[in-house]
Amino acid sequence: MGLAFGRLGSGRLFIMQHTGSDSFRSPLGQARGLGSSKSGVSHWWFQRLTAVCLVPLTVWFVVWMLPLFFQAGPDALMAAFQGLEVAGPAMLWNICVFYHGALGLQVIVEDYIPSEFGKMVGIMLVKGLSVALMVVGNLAILKLFLMR
């Protein structure tokens, strides 16, 4: 809490109470509705966060899952999901991969679909599909895990 000093366009000085808001916009700017109407930072940040999580998860996937699918037999494959060391990372992988993929596909929709309505439809489809696949995939893993 404190005082903020400023100068209007007309040259007049003004004093306002500073509420401690962390917005980079001055109170006058906010009142006038200046600046961007959107925010892309959370998209950028979660894209990087899920990417970092996916680095070890991908290593796990390659080292654990690929041999299960291509070297062990189908029974060993199913039995493996009853262990937490497969089911746990597999569920985490699902969450991160579909979150990261949804953010990536969203950017593709925004880049290549020109109309605003088309963008909205495209983004809803992408996010909806990703959530559905993630939930269904994790439910399947849960069922396999509980099959012991």
Partner 1 sequence: MPKPSHARPLSPHLQVYRMGLPATLSILHRLTGMVLYGGCVLWAMVLVGMCLGSSAAVYAILHTPLGYVVSMAWVGALYYHLLNGIRHLFWDVGKGFELSQAYLSGWLVVGFTLLLTAGTWGWLLAV
- DSSP assignment of 39-103: --HHHHHHHHHHHHHHHHHHHHIIIIIHHHHHTS-HHHHHHHTTSHHHHHHHHHHHHHHHHHHHH
Non-local CB neighbours of 16 within 8 Å, separated by 6+ positions: 3, 4, 6, 27, 28
Does 123 bind partner 1 (CB under 8 A)? Our answer is no
* Stretch of 21-29, 33-41, 117-125, 130-138 contacting partner 1, by CB under 8 A: 130-138
Among 34, 48, 118, 128, binds partner 1 (CB under 8 A): 48
* Stretch of 4-12, 14-22, 23-31, 135-143 contacting partner 1, by CB under 8 A: 135-143
Report, in Å, the least distance between residue 91 CB and partner 1: 10
Element (H, E) at 139: helix 116-145
Taking CA atoms, 146 is separated from 22, 80, 82, 139, in Å, by 47, 12, 7, 10
**Footprint on residues 61-100 left by partner 1 (CB under 8 A):** 62, 66-67, 69-71, 73-75, 77-78, 81, 94, 97-98
Does 116 bind partner 1 (CB under 8 A)? Our answer is yes
Residues that bind partner 1 (CB under 8 A): 48, 51-52, 54-55, 58, 62, 66-67, 69-71, 73-75, 77-78, 81, 94, 97-98, 101, 104-105, 108, 116, 133-134, 136-137, 139-141, 143-144
